[in-house]
Structure 1
Amino acid sequence: MAKRNNEHISIQDALKEFVETNKLQKGLNKVNVAEAWAKLMGNGVNNYTTAVNLERETLHVQLSSSVLREELSYGKEKIITMLNEELGKEIIKKLILR
């Protein structure tokens, strides 16, 4: 049974402690990256995006349009920078468009 803590802490600190204790940060990063991709890329790109997966520090994005994939490949570094800024930390080091 978990220990009960009698001191008062903020909900933010309690949630942060819960995430660290249960090792949930990787899963949260995957969800946050997918949401950041959808937000930053907009409807035009999202209509052709079929999958967004984060594995280690590599973001794999599957696109249904080869033309769009080619266009986005020219700005990979900028996309990585924008996504990391949106997430508030450097999670993504490499972007693979398939």
Structure 2
Amino acid sequence: MAKTKRFNEENSIEDVLKAFIEVNKLSAGIEKVDVREAWFKLMGTGITNYTDEVLLKNGTLYVRITSSVLREELSYGKDKIVAMLNEELKKDVVTTLVLR
């Protein structure tokens, strides 16, 4: 069982949740969910309708696009998409983007 840190003073819920996430090593899983949500938020319905799978693994975001034409168009702006995602997440989570 993980050790829990007992707070003696009043703390904000944000501090308590950050400590909980750190102690239980949940940040990697939360980043995967956050990246997926950011993809669907930033890309809009035109692209998300053709998005089949979004997977973050070791800093690489794998996105399966069902339209080959759309996949080709998105491949021209990979660096911009990575920058937009990291800006939305407010930290560098995605280093490369692979469109399949």
* Structure 2 counterpart of 1:89: 91
1:34 and 2:33 aligned: no
The alignment-based identity, stated in percent, is 59
Question: Once superposed, which parts of structure 1, at least 4 consecutive aligned residues long, lie more than 2 Å away?
Answer: 1-6
* Structure 2 counterpart of 1:23: 25
User: By how many angstroms is 1:37 displaced?
Assistant: 0.3
TM-score normalized by the length of structure 2: 0.93
Deviations 1:7-39 (A, max 9, x none): 211111000000000000000000000000000
TM-score normalized by the length of structure 1: 0.95
**Structure 2 residue runs without a partner (length 5+):** none
1:55 and 2:47 aligned: no
Deviations 1:16-69 (A, max 9, x none): 000000000000000000000000000000000000000011000001100000
Give, in whole Å, the separation in 1 of the partners of 2:85 and 2:32. 12
User: By how many angstroms is 1:5 displaced?
Assistant: 3.2
RMSD between aligned residues: 1.2
Give, in whole Å, the separation in 2 of the partners of 1:93 and 1:36. 15
